[in-house]
A and B are shown apart, each in its own frame.
Chain A
Amino acid sequence: MSPVSLASLGKGARGVILDVRDDAQSLGEEAQSTVSRRLLELGFVAGEPFEVISVVWPGGDPMAVRLGNTTFALRRREASAVLVETGTTPRGA
């Protein structure tokens, strides 16, 4: 399975976090570093299993992601910084 961006996923998608990019262009210069840093701090770290549990219409934005024992709401723009692998069973879980 090749890595995809979390922002490309719809409701019900499951997988494992691979990495957080610190050069996410969609976030704009000022926000990118703080957003990527905060994503890491909140637990978007390699190997963590996740599930997209909800999206808001229209446009499916923002989305709610279940990560470990917590749920986070994030916009597609933030989610684009998160690289994931879908369709596999969580490693080491």
Chain B
Amino acid sequence: MNGQAVTVDSMRLALVGVPNCGKTALFNRLTGSRQHVANYAGVTVERKEGSFVGPARRRLYKVLDLPGAYSLTPTTLDEAITRDFLLGRLAEEPPPDFIVCVVDATNLRLNLRLVIELRDIGVPMVVALNMSDLAASRGFQLDRARLEAELGVPVIETVAVDAHGERKLVERLESMPHPGRRQPLAWHDPTFRQIQDTQREVRRVLRASGYVEPLRKQALARLDALVMHPIAGPAILAAILFFVFQAVFTWAAWPMEVIDTGVSGLGAWLQGTLPDGALRSLFVDGILAGVGSVLIFLPQILILFFFILALEDSGYLPRAAYLLDRLMGSVGLSGRAFIPLLSSFACAVPGIMATRTIPNLRDRLATIMIAPLMTCSARLPVYALIIAAFIPSRAVGPFNLQGLVLFTLYFGGIIAAMLVAFVLKRTALKTAYHPLLLELPEYHWPHLNNLAIGLWERTKVFLQRVGTIILALMIILWFLSSYPTPPPGAEGPAIVHSFAGMIGRWLEVVFAPIGFNWQISLALVPGLAAREVAVGALGTVYSLSNDGDVAGTLVPMIAQTWSLATALSLLAWYVFAPQCISTLVVVKRETNSWRYPLAMAAYLFALAYLASFVTYRVASGLLS
């Protein structure tokens, strides 16, 4: 057969289970990297599908990893999608041929109720008794055959984190005839009494199956007492966040340099190879410079996501959300919002993508709206330039004045974010009370295989964004900055005569009250591509040679020509910096609507203008 798949039929499997049951690990084990991540039609719930061919090469399995659900009576959008899919209520998704209900063998009391609910919708099902090795080693006792008999559905032991831990499940699936498509039975939300009856049934089944739960290990209880201690807990959290921050900025420095060198090397090579003209400029100044300036954040994003995935896998993140619930709740956000906001310090794009973990839609929208106020690393080059030019490096107590200004800018963004969230949650995004009710899963060591697959997924999504929509925008911006070409004998750099130059001069009228000259106004136009591109654009406008250390030669230039009030005004502008097209595009993608990106751009612009206006006027008044 030359290793080629000769499949006879295909079977659609749905993996269902409560959150933290190891469902995604089993999905990874079954399908490897043959996965496709998209959204369910019309909503931003992640749809993960993969496939594998059975060992007999007769059957293709299409596996859908449904969002985690405690129940068929949903409290989140994720749970509603899972229910609707299983009951065949989604327009573009037929119900599954077969359900694999994944249960955590160390937490059957919580998991079995869903099994009984699923059994009653009439779609053929097997139960994957996951983490069965862990359960055995921790002293859990269970008669699998009795459980199977009591439940009336096959129960198969799996170990999702071990190679071949899925083998018994696959063998069982292979031995089963294709059930054909069956319409799920009608489903009604159970009454309180019915839920209580099901819970009694769960406990009866467990007793009948000889289920014995060990006492929790003393070490784990002590770890929880420390991690969730009212004083030590927040201190540990702060230390972890500080470490992650350090790592993102220091570990990423080297690979970022490599990417930078690679991009400029490729640029220089193209510069020498292609004939002078529009095509060369498009490739070098447009595509390569633009895409390169976004791609350079990939190392930071990967390191950040590595820590987030590891903390999530270990069981720590829900505990952090628990500790921060009160603090975030004071401005109306959920404790879960802290993960996306943390990511946004590297770049708002992955931060906004990470808001998918927030169950309530309005909480999620509020988090998306404030994510760009976290000082992303793209703003650092701009801050560095202005601080170097205008803020003297002098000691203020134990601190350095330059460092203090930088800290103020970061802190200003956080304060602004809190205020905006506070206002949003009381006006446009007001929600009814939303409960916390968060499961804090048992600690365990993160698994490298899952981390690798998770990181690869993130990288793929990021590269797809860079390669499609962001690339297209870079080309448009390059066109605006290059055409029309300057008339013969014209003075000054070419960009002054382009559309971008014209826009810059119109903008000057708008920006004059906040102290921006036409050079700054113009530089903000290509800065739409990515915030730090404004630094390079300033270099171009001031007719500096584009090779070599632009920032180095810019510092004395702007120090001479700008007033301190103008510099401070530009710093205040960049705390809000509405001009990041990549962010706005991701918001559009994540919310399926232009409403939120437009509202975001408008409010950020208004705040930026207001902050700069006040800064400029106050500084001018004090310094004159």
Q: Which of A's residues lie within 8 Å of B, judged by CB?
A: 22, 27-28, 30-31, 34-43, 45-46, 53-59, 61-62, 64, 66, 68-75, 77-78
Interface of A is mostly: mixed
Name A54's closest neighbour in chain B (CB-CB).
B228
Task: Give the CA-CA distance A57 to B325 in the complex, in Å.
Answer: 11
Complex interface: chain B residues within 8 A of A74 (CB): 435-438
CA of A75 to CA of B110, assembled, Å = 20
Q: Which of B195, B225, B436 is A41 in contact with, Cβ under 8 Å?
A: B195
Rounded to whole angstroms, the CA-CA distance of A27 and B106 in the bound complex is 32
Q: Is B596 an interface residue (CB 8 A)?
A: no
Stretch at the interface among B49-57, B69-77, B396-404, B538-546: B69-77
Closest 9 CB pairs of A and B: A54-B228, A57-B230, A71-B440, A73-B322, A73-B438, A30-B432, A45-B199, A68-B109, A40-B195
Q: Which of A40, A61, A75 contacts B199 (CB 8 A)?
A: A40
Interchain CA distance A45-B71 in the complex, whole Å: 16
A34 and B195 within 8 A (CB): no
Interface string of B49-90 (1 = CB under 8 A from A): 000000000000000000000110101000000000000000
Across chains A and B, the number of contacting residue pairs, with CB separation under 8 Å, is 123
Q: Which residues of A are found within 8 Å of B440, using beta-carbon distances?
A: 64, 70-73
**Is A38 within 8 A of B70, CB to CB?**
yes
Of A43, A62, A64, A77, which one neighbours B433 at CB under 8 angstroms? A77
B439 contacts A71, C-beta separation under 8 Å: yes
Residues of B within 8 A of A46 (CB): 196
Partner of B107 from A40, A45, A53, A70 at Cβ < 8 Å: A70
Which residue of A is nearest B229, CB measured?
A54
Least Cβ–Cβ distance between A22 and chain B, in angstroms: 6
Report if A68-B213 is in contact (Cβ < 8 Å); known contacts: A54-B229, A73-B436, A74-B437. Answer: yes
Closest to B106 in A: A69
In the bound complex, do residue A59 and residue B228 qualify as a contact, i.e. CB atoms below 8 Å apart? no
Output the nearest chain A residue to B200 by Cβ-Cβ distance. A45
The residues of A that contact B113 with a CB separation of less than 8 Å are: 41
- Check if B192 is an interface residue, CB within 8 A of chain A: yes
From B324, which residue of chain A is reached at the shortest CB distance?
A56
Across the interface, B110 reaches (CB within 8 A) one of A31, A55, A57, A68, namely: A68
Query: B224 and A54: CB pair below 8 A?
Result: yes
Closest to A55 in B: B230
- Min CB distance B129 to A, Å, is 15
Q: For the complex, what is the distance from the CA of A78 to the CA of B229, rounded to whole Å?
A: 21
B91: CB under 8 A from chain A? no
A43 in contact with B199 (CB, 8 Å): yes
Contact for B323 among A38, A39, A56, A59, CB less than 8 A: A56
Q: B435 near A35 (CB under 8 angstroms)?
A: yes
Question: Is A77 touching B437 in the complex (CB atoms < 8 A)?
Answer: no
Measured between C-beta atoms, what is the minimum distance from B440 to chain A in Å?
4
Residues of B within 8 A of A27 (CB): 433, 435
Q: Would you call A71 and B224 a contact (CB within 8 A)?
A: yes
Residues of A within 8 A of B233 (CB): 54, 56
B460 within 8 A of A: no
Q: Is B216 an interface residue (CB 8 A)?
A: yes
A-B contact pairs, 12 of them (CB 8 A): A36-B192, A38-B435, A42-B439, A45-B199, A53-B224, A57-B231, A64-B224, A71-B441, A72-B437, A72-B439, A73-B322, A74-B435
Q: Is the CB of A22 within 8 A of B228?
A: no
Asked if B434 is at the interface of the complex by the 8 Å CB criterion, the answer is yes
Closest A residue to B326 using CB positions: A56
CB distance from A89 to the nearest CB of B (A): 15
Given known pairs A56-B325, A70-B110, the reply for A78 and B192 (CB within 8 Å) is no
The residue in chain B whose Cβ has the minimal distance to the Cβ of A93 is B213
Please determine whether A54 and B70 come into contact, CB atoms closer than 8 angstroms: no
Name the residue on A nearest B199 (C-beta): A45
- B318 close to A77 (CB less than 8 A): no
Known: A31-B433, A73-B440. A56 touches B322 (CB 8 A): yes
Would A28 and B224 be within 8 Å (CB), given that A38-B437, A56-B323, A71-B440 are in contact?
no
